[in-house]
Chains A and B, each alone.
Chain A
Amino acid sequence: MAPSDRERFEHLVLPHLDDAYALAHYLLHDGHDAQDVVHDAVLRALRHFDTYRNGDARAWLLSIVRNCCHSWREQHRHTVAGRTAIHTDVERSPELPDPAMADQHAIQSSERDRLHRALATLPDEFREVIVLRELQELSYNQISIITGVPAGTVMSRLARARKRLASALELPVSEEG
């Protein structure tokens, strides 16, 4: 790889590691697995950087991360089946305790647990569109690139995912159509 390509990669792709990790964390329900998968996905992205065509680098990386998450789940189908989907232990770097935020977290934790539990009840393809839209604030077009389905499907999936979540959280919505 030419030094200029390496610089481009570092400049375009590496700034999105937090997004990549967040997506993997939500898809795999586990921080350690998410680290392994993101690491692997970024190296794949590097090796296939020639397939990147000046588009949205973030969406490009996230589509690779998503695919790696799916293959990872296929390979670990048996071990993952028994894992509880509720993860209330989103990890921080082990040597970095958050010094000032402990009380704040305690107050917010019950709402946070409720949301995470509701999200965990969704099927994978619903959960991923919620994460991509609500957490990462991506457009339908970007979500379409990442998930490999047409924007119209993104729209209907997101609508259904929201209805399910709203029912799980006992918000008043009409039945899923």
Chain B
Amino acid sequence: MQCEECRALLSAYLDGELMPEERDEVGQHLASCVSCAAEYESLAALSRRLRGGLDRPHAPETLKARIRADVARETSTVIPMSTTTPTVSSTRPTRLPWLGLAAAGLVIAALSAGTTAAIIHHRAATASVADQVVSSHIRSLLPGRLTDVASNDLHNVKPWFNGRIDFSPTVPRLDSLGFPLVGGRLDYAGGRPVAVVVYQHQQHVINVFSWPADGSSISPTLVRTEHGYHLMHWSDATGNFWTVSDLNLGQLNQFITLFAKAESEGEPK
């Protein structure tokens, strides 16, 4: 192979995009030609510098939230616009109500009516807390809504809740573990004011909602994934926790493990 021919192929050689025979010929030429080898080294160095040095801009969370909301809206309005029934602005198709009744009937056969009512009531309450928490997360991504107190210092965030809410939320420091604290805010969910502590990982926002313990003990559970947001819930002796983020599930689980561990070990003073 001549130098000229080799040089025309170096870039594709670097990218691993040559056919096997061409690749071998270029490789053999490089082994014997110092100047082509030097040129190859320049191209490889350029590639390394670009990969290491160029910005990789991430889409802002606000943009992602707007797009997800629009996708949800555009796809839900296709529900038939029948002539008689006014369209209900629901993103979820109403699931055959009689099916629920039939299921309830089966349960009643096994349990006392009182217990069933309590279970149904509990499930409905949980569903609505889940809805409220996800909505609050999406709302928080709009400009200016994320935090009432913006600080990376837990000694600013934790005291801020004093007097604003009737308990002291857990605010573990997880900066060194890749989850810096962004701040806190008050919100309202499940019929009571709740504390929201905000963390981030890379450009992903993590909202942690908490309120006092109610005696339940639930290990971290994925409640649902909606519009790309994962909603997880757990509770223990220290409180009731819900967290929402578009982090991937592995990272979100890691975050919860770190959060729960820091929380049970007590916070640094």
Q: Is A125 an interface position by the 8 A CB rule? A: no
With A38-B63, A92-B203, A171-B42 in contact, is A112–B49 under 8 Å at CB? no
CA A159 to CA B10, docked complex, whole Å: 8
The answer to whether A3 and B228 have CB atoms under 8 Å apart is no
A6 lies within 8 A of B75 (CB): yes
With a cutoff of 8 Å between Cβ atoms, the chain A residues found around residue B17 in the complex are 139-140, 155
Task: Let me know if A130 is at the binding interface, CB within 8 A.
Answer: yes
- What residue in chain B is nearest A92 (Cβ atoms)? B203
Which residues on the B side are within 8 Å of A134 (C-beta)?
47, 50-51, 54
How many of A's residues come within 8 Å of B, CB to CB?
A: 57
Which residues of chain A are within 8 angstroms of B71 by Cβ–Cβ distance?
A: 6, 9-10, 14, 42-43, 46
Q: Which residues of A contact B59 (CB under 8 A)?
A: 17-18, 20-21, 35, 38
Instruction: Say yes or no: is B64 at the interface (Cβ < 8 Å to chain A).
Output: yes
Tally A-B pairs: CB < 8 A.
Answer: 160
Interchain nearest-CB distance for A109 vs B (Å): 10
Q: Are B50 and A115 in contact (CB under 8 A)?
A: yes
Query: In the complex the two chains form, is B12's CB within 8 Å of A173's CB?
Result: no
Q: Provide the residues of chain B in CB contact with A39, threshold 8 Å.
A: 63, 66-67, 70
Q: Which residues of chain B have C-beta atoms less than 8 A from A177's C-beta?
A: 4, 7-8
Task: Pick the residue among A47, A95, A165, A174 that contacts B146 (CB under 8 A).
Answer: A95
B57 touches A96 (CB 8 A): no
- Which of A1, A90, A155, A159 makes the CB contact (< 8 A) with B75? A1
**A22-B67 in contact (CB<8A):** no
Nearest CB of A to B203, in Å: 6
**From DSSP, what is the main secondary structure of chain B's interface residues?**
helix
How big is chain B's contact interface, by range?
A: 35 or more
Contacts A96-B200, A173-B39, A174-B7; is A21 near B63 (CB within 8 Å)?
A: yes
Q: Which of B65-108 contact A (CB under 8 A)?
A: 66-68, 70-72, 74-75, 78, 93
Picked from B7, B53, B74, B150, the residue with its CB within 8 Å of the CB of A95 is B150
> Which A-chain residue is minimally distant from B92 (CB atoms)?
A3
Chain A residues positioned under 8 Å from B45 (CB to CB): 171
Contacts of A66 in B (CB 8 A): none
Q: Establish whether residues A115 and B53, one from each chain, have CB atoms under 8 Å apart when the complex forms.
A: yes
Complex interface residues of chain A between 138 and 160 (CB less than 8 A to chain B): 139-140, 155-156, 158-159
| With known contacts A94-B143, A99-B180, A165–B54 Cβ distance under 8 A | no
- Does B228 lie within 8 Å of A10, measured CB to CB? yes
B56 CB–A CB distance under 8 Å:
yes
Across the interface, do A119 and B15 meet the contact criterion of CB distance under 8 Å?
A: no
Name the residue on A nearest B63 (C-beta).
A35
Whole-angstrom CA separation of A18 from B202 in the bound complex: 12
CB distance from B26 to the nearest CB of A (A): 13
CB contacts (< 8 Å) of B68 on chain A: these are: 10, 14
Which residues of B sit under 8 angstroms from A10, Cβ to Cβ? Answer: 68, 71, 227-228
Complex-state Cα separation, A17 to B141, whole angstroms = 16
Minimum distance in angstroms from A14 CB to a CB of chain B: 5
B154 located at the interface, meaning its Cβ lies under 8 Å from any Cβ of chain A in the complex: no
Asked if A135 is an interface residue, CB under 8 A from chain B, the answer is: yes
B265 within 8 A of A: no
| Residue interface mask B207-238, A partner, CB < 8 A = 1 | 00000000000000000000110000000000
Q: Enumerate A160-177 residues with CB–CB distance to B below 8 Å.
A: 162, 165-166, 169, 171-174, 177
Q: 10 A-B pairs, CB-CB below 8 angstroms?
A: A1-B78, A21-B57, A90-B57, A95-B147, A99-B152, A115-B50, A115-B53, A158-B15, A159-B10, A169-B46
Known: A31-B60, A35-B59, A112-B55. 14 other contacts (CB 8 A): A6-B71, A14-B64, A14-B228, A20-B59, A21-B58, A35-B60, A43-B70, A90-B55, A95-B143, A95-B147, A99-B180, A99-B181, A134-B51, A177-B7
**A-B pairs with the 9 shortest C-beta distances?**
A21-B59, A159-B11, A6-B75, A93-B60, A90-B55, A134-B50, A99-B152, A17-B59, A99-B180
Binding site for A on B (CB under 8 A): 4, 7-8, 10-12, 15, 17, 38-39, 42-43, 45-47, 49-51, 53-64, 66-68, 70-72, 74-75, 78, 93, 143-144, 146-147, 150, 152, 175, 180-182, 200, 203, 205, 227-228
